[in-house]
Amino acid sequence: MFDTLSDRLAATFKNLRGKGRLSEADIDATAREIRIALLEADVALPAVRAFISRIKERAAGAEVSAALNPAQQVIKIVNEELISILGGETRRLRYAKTGPTVIMLAGLQGAGKTTLAGKLAKWLKDQKHTPLLVACDLQRPNAVTQLGVMAERAGVAIYAPEPGNGVGDPVKVARDSIDYAKNKQYDVVIVDTAGRLGIDAEMMQQAADIRAAINPDEVLFVVDAMIGQDAVTTAQAFLEGVDFTGVVLSKLDGDARGGAALSVAHVTGRQIMFASNGEKLEDFDAFHPDRMASRILGMGDVLSLIEQAEKTFSQEEAAKVHAKLASKGGKEFGLGDFLAQLEQVSKMGSITKLLGMLPGMAQMRDQINNIDDKDVARVGAIIKSMTQAERDDPKLINGSRRARIAKGSGVHVSEVSSLVERFFEARKMMSAMAGGKGIPGMPGMPGMGGGASRKPKQQKAAKGRRQSGNPLKRQQDAQQAAQKKTDGAVQPGGAFGLGAGQGPSDFELPKEFKDLL
């Protein structure tokens, strides 16, 4: 979503690098570029003005003028101000001291409230709570049925006494759901209300009546992250009509410019609490302003990646895999183990999203976007077409076996051969790393694994050779010297600019460089 904004900011900061000192003109030019980038990202004008004002004020101060690297200091300031405009610290749910915690969802029709209700219930269930979904959207056709499907997928209970489709009193349903939750001992109640088409006074009053009837601990305003600056107008109307306590961004995985995320918190004074960034129930998590700012600036989001890995991978399984790779040169690590690791990674989410969380990956966005998650399924089909013996020892896979495996998995024989070859290479590398030897083919470095780099042989100073007094002997010596010179010349096609058959370790540094080293 923030790709355009990230690219513009990256280009702006690139112009600052290499400058030992920033002049007032440099600061003004940088502020102007950042202003254009924010406006292009559809950020609300009041938020842009406040943001630029703070950056110019801080950039002109001592923290930049006295810095060793002014460009990095400006990036630090932009990062801190982005965190501030996104809400500062992470806002957590407020739970009731006694009785069930009541959470009310409100927002425009089509913002994704019903789907988000299921995601929130699943998230709370994973947090060891027992949530109850309440169907108070009795206006939209099949809204009650949709909420029932979401509850079933999330594995949580639902309270839906009315069929909906225009039938039933949503205020009464909401009020009765609290008593039902107390009797059934549900500790969180999530009330899904009807959406509005624009600013509808009648429907807004209904939302206010539901709030008065249930006195919720949290009122979450669900906003579509793709509607841009209009989200601010809608948020202000809901703030006056319902007075929400937090914001939830839906459809954060869309291709919009992300202006809503940078505008709502600043204009309304209510923090973003959750973000929905996909279609699956698992594509939902708490909103962290510092991590979002880091993503916008192309610094990645390693903390979120680690959290997802901790949810998916077990330490026990990781220890078993490490033991297999570290013993017997990794030969105990088979294709079955390799498939299990791939499946664990796929549970964390899209490969594209995971790679996008790594620092510096914004520069490789086009290559990352071309990655097809179906490739993992294709690899799985190939491995599952093998016998257990073939998975444990891929060296058994000969020509006829490859043909059988290709036919069973619906791929070409060359794909089976390529997978087996890549597996051997990957196993060799992972085995070396697991054994603390570093990456094969790379020389050792202090504090790192890898084989010890071979010291170049000391060359003795060449002494002047005596010439023979025999003319025939002198001619033979000259021919031998010419032959040696030809053999030592660089042959075409040699890697690293060396002769054929030579490698980087055969290269001798000049004496001047050796002295420096």
Q: Which of 51, 85, 119 marks a domain boundary?
A: 85
Q: Choose between 332 and 392: higher pLDDT.
A: 392
The pLDDT, as a whole number, for residue 51 is: 85
Burial class (CB in 10 A: 0-12, 13-18, 19+), 39: middle
Is residue 406 domain-shared with residue 338, that is, in the same domain? yes
User: How does DSSP classify residue 286?
Assistant: E
Pairing mode, if any, of strands 246-250 and 284-286?
A: unpaired
**Residues 6 or more apart whose Cβ sits within 8 Å of residue 493:** 500
Tell me which of 384, 405, 434 is where a domain ends.
434
CA 297 to chain centre: 13
Q: Are residues 283 and 330 in the same domain?
A: no
Kindly state whether residue 186 falls inside one of the protein's structural domains: yes
Distance CA 132, CA 157 (A): 5
197 with 237, same domain: the answer is yes
112/26 same-domain check: no
Q: Report the distance separating Cα 135 and Cα 146, nearest Å.
A: 10
The verdict on whether residue 245 carries a ligand-binding annotation is no
- What contacts 291, CB < 8 A, 6 or more positions away? 301, 303, 304
Q: Are residue 72 and residue 26 in the same domain, yes or no?
A: yes
Counting beta carbons within 10 angstroms of the beta carbon of residue 110, is it exposed (0 to 12), middle (13 to 18) or buried (19 or more)?
A: middle
**Cα-only R_g, the chain:** 32
504 part of a folded domain: no
Mean pLDDT of 43-68: 76
Please state, for a pLDDT cut of 70, what percent of the chain lies above it: 66
What are the phi and psi torsion angles at 159 (to 5°)? -115, 110
Residues 286 and 316 in one domain: no
399 carries a ligand binding annotation:
no
Is 212 annotated as belonging to a binding site? no
> Binding residue per annotation — 349?
no
Please indicate if the annotation marks 192 as binding a ligand: yes
Among 241-245, 283-287, 439-443, the range scoring the smallest mean pLDDT is 439-443
Residue where the block lists tokens 């010890």: 452
Residue type, 21: R
Sheet holding 218-224, edge to edge: 157-159, 131-136, 188-193, 101-107, 218-224, 246-250, 272-276, 284-286
Q: Which of 105-109, 213-217, 292-296, 334-338 has the least mean pLDDT?
A: 292-296
Structure tokens at 471: 């003319």
The confidence score (pLDDT) of residue 361 equals 56
> What is the chain's percent helix, strand, coil content, to nearest 5?
55, 10, 35
The reply, when asked if residue 250 is annotated as ligand binding, is yes
- What confidence tens digit (pLDDT) does each residue in 446-487 have? 334 444 444 444 444 444 555 656 666 677 777 777 666 554
Number of separate domains in the chain: 3
| CA nearest neighbour of 359 among 288, 315, 297, 287 | 297
CATH code assigned at 286: 3.40.50.300
On whether residue 467 sits in a domain, the answer given is no
Is 107 flagged in the annotation as binding? yes
Residues 283 and 310 in one domain: no
Q: Is 90 a member of any domain?
A: no
> Is residue 422 domain-resident?
yes
Does 380 carry a binding-site annotation?
Answer: no
517 appears as a binding residue in the annotation: no
Do 71 and 112 have their domain in common?
Answer: no
More confident residue, 267 or 440: 267
Selection from 425, 406, 435 nearest residue 338 by Cα: 425
pLDDT at site 258: 61
Q: Cα–Cα distance between 161 and 207 in angstroms, integer?
A: 19
pLDDT of 76 over the 90 cut: no
Domain boundary among 299, 317, 332: 299
Whether 455 maps to a domain, the answer reads no
Same domain, 149 and 284: yes
Find out whether 240 and 214 touch, Cβ atoms under 8 Å. Answer: no
Residue 264: predicted pLDDT:
78
**How many separate helices (H) and strands (E) can be counted in the chain?**
23, 8
Asked whether residue 252 is marked as a ligand-binding residue, the answer is: yes
Q: How far is CA 301 from CA 132, 165, 360, 368, 437, in A?
A: 32, 43, 10, 16, 29
Distance CA 382, CA 339 (A): 10
DSSP code at position 222 = E
Say yes or no: 295 and 155 in one domain: yes
Assess whether 161 and 252 both reside in one domain: yes
Q: Can you give the residue range of the structural domain that contains 311?
A: 306-434
The verdict on residue 187 lying in a domain is: yes
pLDDT, tens only, 175-190: 999 999 999 999 999 9
194 is in an annotated binding site: yes
220 in helix, strand or coil?
Answer: strand
Distance CA 350, CA 430 (A): 23
3-state secondary structure 66-127: CCCCHHHHHHHHHHHHHHHHCCCCCCCCCCCCCCCEEEEEEEECCCCHHHHHHHHHHHHHHC
pLDDT category at 83 given cuts 50, 70, 90 is confident
Pair (255, 315) in one structural domain: no
Determine, yes or no, domain membership for 456: no
Whichever domain contains 313, its CATH number is 1.10.260.30
pLDDT at 493 over 50: no
